[in-house]
Structure 1
Amino acid sequence: MEVFRPTISNPDKFQIGKAMWLQKIDLKDPLVAANILSSRPYFAFLDSAMHQDKLGRYSYIAVDPFARLTVCGDQAYWNSVPEKGDPLELLQRHLAQFAFDEKIERRFPFQGGCIGYVGYDYGRCLEVINGYPETEDKAADINFCFYDVVLAFDHMTGESYLCSSGYPETQPDKKESRAKARLAQFSDWLSMPSKQASLDEKPNRLSLNWQSNFTKEHYCQAIETVREYIRKGDIYQANIAQSFSAELPDDFQPWPFYRQLRRINPATFGAYLAFGDQVIASASPERFVLLQDNQIETRPIKGTARRSPDLEKDRAAAEELLHSEKDRAENIMIVDLLRNDLSHVSTADSVEVTDLCRLESYAGVHHLVSVVTGKLRPENSSVDLLKACFPGGSITGAPKIRAMEIIAEIEQLARGVYCGSIGYIDFGGNLDFNIAIRTVTLSKNKAVFQVGGGITLLSDPEAEYVETLTKAAKIFESFGTSVSEMA
C-alpha cells in the first residue's frame, strides 16, 4: 500500500485579512486527496480533470458541511427545518449571513461557500411551464451544502491549500478558534494512510440491463414532431433527450465508478457529489455561467461530431463540424438567447460575444463552443444571475419557455439533475456552474443518465439519434458496456 502524508504548513503564516485562514498542502493531484476524503459526509468534488487554456484551472474538494439547504418543489428546508419564502431568495439570504470581508485577499475564486446543484425541473418554479411531468423519485430540486473548509487546487501553479473560514461562528475570537481547529482536523484526515487511486484502473464490466424511454423509431418520431412545431412557428429549436436507466448490483460502489468515468472521459467541468443516498457523477464539458469579480461568462455548446482514432478522419470530422450550416445555426440561436438572459442582470452595453462557434475537442467528441460575457449590475447578486439564466438555453432551445413545454410533452419524464447545473457559490459572491450533461445519478441501486441534442428544421432524425449514442458512449464504457450493444 502506498501511503500519502502531505506536508502541511503553519496556518498562522497564511492568515488572509480577518476572514480566512489557509494552510499550504504539498499535493498536486486532487484525486489523491479525493480518494482519502471520499467516505466523509457530504463529499463534494468539483473536478477539472481536463485542463486547456484558462479553463479547468481549479479543482475543489469539500466535506462535512455546517449547513444544508434543500428544496423540493417550492418548499425549502434549512438543516431539514421547513422555511417559508422563495427558495433562491432564501439561498441568497443564507449566503449573506456568511459574507466575506470585502477586503479579503484571494488565492482562489472559491474559498468557502455552498456547493451543490439546481435540477432542471426547478425551472417550472421560475416560469409557468404547461404540462410539466411529475417526478417519480421525489429527489431534491435544489441541494446545496455550506462548507467552512475547502481544499483548493490551482492546476496552473501546482499549488494547493486548505481554506478555512471559521463559519458558522461570526464572533472574531470564536471564528478564529474554529477555523484553526478545522484546519487541524482536515490535516489529520489528510494524513491518514490511504491507497492512492491508480489512473490506469481498468473499468469493471457490469452486466447491466439498460433501458431507454425511447426506441430508435420513437426518438426519430419525436424529432419530426419538433420539426413540425418549428414549421408552425412555435419555436426555432428544442433539445430532446432520451433517458437510460439500469438496476445496479448491491455491491456497486459509486466512487470507483467516477474514477473510471474521469479517466475515460476527463472533463473541464466535472463533479462528484455524494449527498446522502444520492450520488451525482458528472463529466460535463460545458460551463453554464461564471461570475468572478462581477464579470460574467457563459459558454454554450451546440454542435457535436464524433471523434475518430484515425487522425485524418478526425480532422475531417472537425472541419465538417466547423462549417456545418445546421450546427452553426443551432449555436448562434442559443447565443442570442443567452445574450438576452444576461441583459436582465448586466450593466448597459456590457453584454458581448467574445467567441462564436469555436472548435473544442474532448475524449470522444468535437464541439462548437461560443462565449458570451457581461458585467453584473451593482444591485444584483450571484443568485439573481442564476435565476435570470436558469435553465441554460443550450439545453432547452428557443424561445425557452415554449421549448420547455414541448420538451415536457415529448419526453414525459422529469429530468432531475440532468440539464440543471452543478457548481459553487462563494461567500464572497463568486459563482461557477456547469451544465449537467454527461451526468449520471446514482441512487437506490439505480443508475440514470440522459443524452440529447438540439433539434432544428435542418435536423436529420436518424443522425440525431446516432448523436445521442455518441454522447452516451463514454458513460457506457465507464460501466463496462459498449455503446454498440445499445444501437
Structure 2
Amino acid sequence: MHRVERRVDWHDPLAVACGLHRRTGALALISDGDVRAGRSWVAAEPDLLFVGPMPPEAPFRILNDPDFARGVVGLATYDGGARPATGQRGVSQDGDWPDLMLARYPALLRFQDGVATAVGLGASEAEAEGQADRAEGWLGLATSPDVPGPPAETFHTEASDDAYRHAVAEVVRRIGEGELFQANIARAWSGRLGSGVDPFDVFLRLARSRAAAYGAFWRMGDRALVSNSPELFLNFDAAAARIETRPIKGTRGRDADAATDARLAADLVASAKDRAENLMIVDLMRNDLSRVAVPGSVKVERLFEVETLPTVHHLVSTVTAQARSGTGPAELMGATFPPGSITGAPKHQSMKVIADLEPPRGPWCGSLFMIDAEGSLTASVLIRTAGFVQDGRGWSFRTLAGAGIVADSDPDAELAETTVKISALRQALTGSAD
C-alpha cells in the first residue's frame, strides 16, 4: 500500500470534525493535548468495513489481513472479548452491538503538536495522492462549533442503588471464599436524546468542557459512540516494537476547595486498598503482555501515579514491554483483551462473576483502537463512554460506570464511586451532574 503525507494549514480538529460529523463513518479521535495521549485524527467515508463476531481461537486475526493493516479504526465490545471465559452470548440492552466493527479510512487528517497533515493511502502513488487531496479538502468544511444545550430528554438508572450494593456484597463474599481477588462491577444508565438531537452534540459538550486524553466520536450507520476516556489500554510502536499500557485503578472525586482537593489526592496515594487494587491489575497486565513480549522485557515504569481530571483523581500505573518478533496489533489485542482494569483478577474468573451479576455491557469497557498508516496501534479503554442506537423515534443511549471490588470494599463507598465516575457524562447529557 502506498502512503502520501502532506503538511496542510492548521485548523482546530474539533471544528473540522464538526463539518464532517453527519457523513458516513464520521470519525473524530480528539486528544486533550496530554503529551502521552499522542495525536488527534479526523476522517469520514471509509472504503472498507467489517462487522462480525470474534472467533474464540483468534479474536483479532482479521487485523492480519493486508486490507485491515493500515488506516483502520475498530471497536471491540467487552462482551465479545469475555465470551470465551463466560460462554454467554446474550443480547445487550443497547442494540445488540456486534463483537467487532472495523472501518478502513484511505483519507485521514492528523493533528499533532500544532502540525496538521493530510494522509492518503492507496494501491498506487496516484491513488494515495488523490486521497490526500480529499483529506485536505475537508479543511474547507471546518465549522466553529457552538456548544449545544443538554441533549437528553430522559436519563435513568437501570437498577436500584440497593441492587448495586447487593452485587458488591456478593463479590466481597465470593472473594472471601477464595473464588477471586477482585472484580470490576458496573451499573448502567439509559435514556433518549431529544427530537432532532444528534450524538455529536454530546461529544461537543464533553470536548468543550471536560475533554479527555482519548475523546472519540464515531458514527457507524444506525450506531454511534461517544467516549471521554482518560485510559490508555495499549500503545504499540511498530517501528520500535515497544508496547505500553496504563491501567487506572483507584479514584477520588474532586472538590472545589483547593486544600480539600489536595487532601483527596493525597488520600488516594496513601490508601492501602487503592494501591492493592492497582497493583493486582498491574500484575495482571504484566502477565498478559508477557504472552507477546521478549522474555525479561516487561517492566513497571511508573507505579501509583496520580492523574487529575476535571471531576476525579485517578491512580495510574505504566507497564511497558518489548514485543517479540512477529507480534503485531492482532497478536497484541488477542493476548490482552478485554482490558484487565475493567475485568479483575484472576481475569477469567472475574469475567465469569461479572456475567453472573450484570447484563451484557456492549461497547462500554471494550476498546476503540486505531492502526495508523505506519502499522502502529493505539487503543483506549471505553470507560466514560456511551453507545447510541438510532430507531424511528431518534437516538437512544446507554452508559455505565464501575468500581473495582476487593475484599474490604464497602458497598456504599463503591456506589458513591460510580456516581462520581458518571458525573461528567451525565452533565454532558442532562446539564446536571446529580
Task: Write out aligned runs for 1:117-128 (5 A).
Answer: 117-125=75-83, 127-128=84-85
Task: Write out aligned runs for 1:409-448 (5 A).
Answer: 409-411=356-358, 413-444=359-390, 445-448=395-398
Q: CA deviation at 1:19?
A: 2.9
Q: Partner of 2:205: helix, strand, or coil? A: helix
When the two chains are superposed, the root-mean-square deviation of aligned CA atoms in Å is 1.9
Instruction: State the one-letter code of the partner of 1:422.
Output: L
Offset from partner CA, 1:403-441 (integer Å, 9 cap, x none): 011101111x11111010012023533101000000011
1:249 to 194, 209, 216: 194
Q: 1: CA distance between counterparts of 2:152 and 2:320? A: 45
Question: Match of 1:89?
Answer: 61
Offset from partner CA, 1:230-285 (integer Å, 9 cap, x none): 00111100000001000222311111221101222210011111111111000000
Q: Tell whether the 8 Å contact from 2:43 to 2:135 is kept in structure 1 after alignment.
A: no
Instruction: State the one-letter code of the partner of 2:140.
Output: S
Q: 2: CA distance between counterparts of 1:422 and 1:441? A: 12
Q: 2: CA distance between counterparts of 1:146 and 1:347? A: 30
Offset from partner CA, 1:365-413 (integer Å, 9 cap, x none): 00000000001100222210001000000000000111011101111x1
Question: Match of 2:210?
Answer: 265
Q: Partner of 1:403: helix, strand, or coil? A: helix
- 2:294 pairs with 1:347: yes
Instruction: State the one-letter code of the partner of 2:366.
Output: G
- 2:35 pairs with 1:63: no
Structure-1-length-normalised TM-score: 0.84
Q: Tell whether the 8 Å contact from 2:16 to 2:138 is kept in structure 1 after alignment.
A: no
2:322 to 335, 360, 375: 375
- 2:133 pairs with 1:191: no
Which of 1 and 2 has greater Rg? 1
2:423 to 452, 473, 478: 473
Q: Tell whether the 8 Å contact from 1:118 to 1:420 is kept in structure 2 after alignment.
A: yes
Structure-2-length-normalised TM-score: 0.94
Q: 2: CA distance between counterparts of 1:478 and 1:329? A: 32
- 2:33 pairs with 1:51: yes
Q: 2: CA distance between counterparts of 1:280 and 1:206? A: 15
> Could you tell me the percent identity over the aligned residues?
33
Change (3 A) 1:186 1:150: closer
Q: Partner of 2:282: helix, strand, or coil? A: helix
Change (3 A) 1:295 1:249: same
Instruction: State the one-letter code of the partner of 2:61.
Output: E
Q: Tell whether the 8 Å contact from 2:119 to 2:131 is kept in structure 1 after alignment.
A: no
Instruction: State the one-letter code of the partner of 1:128.
Output: A
- 2:185 pairs with 1:240: yes
Question: Match of 1:72?
Answer: 53
Q: 1: CA distance between counterparts of 2:11 and 2:244? A: 27
Q: CA deviation at 1:26?
A: 1.4
2:409 to 459, 468, 477: 459
Change (3 A) 1:220 1:132: farther
Deviates more, 1:127-136 or 1:60-69: 127-136
Offset from partner CA, 1:174-197 (integer Å, 9 cap, x none): x122122223333333224x5311
- Structure 2: segments with no counterpart, 5+ residues: none
- 2:167 pairs with 1:222: yes
Offset from partner CA, 1:64-99 (integer Å, 9 cap, x none): 111011113649xxxxxxxxx955212322xx3576
Q: 2: CA distance between counterparts of 1:26 and 1:299? A: 33
Instruction: State the one-letter code of the partner of 1:138.
Output: D
Instruction: State the one-letter code of the partner of 2:369.
Output: G
2:342 to 388, 395, 404: 395
Instruction: State the one-letter code of the partner of 1:51.
Output: G
Change (3 A) 1:181 1:240: same
Offset from partner CA, 1:429-479 (integer Å, 9 cap, x none): 310100000001111220110001100012111011011010111111111
Q: CA deviation at 1:113?
A: 1.5
Q: 1: CA distance between counterparts of 2:5 and 2:374? A: 16
Q: How many residues align?
A: 427
Q: CA deviation at 1:208?
A: 3.0
- Structure 1: segments with no counterpart, 5+ residues: 1-17, 76-84, 100-111, 170-174
Q: Tell whether the 8 Å contact from 2:152 to 2:192 is kept in structure 1 after alignment.
A: no
Q: Partner of 1:483: helix, strand, or coil? A: coil
Q: 1: CA distance between counterparts of 2:179 and 2:291? A: 23
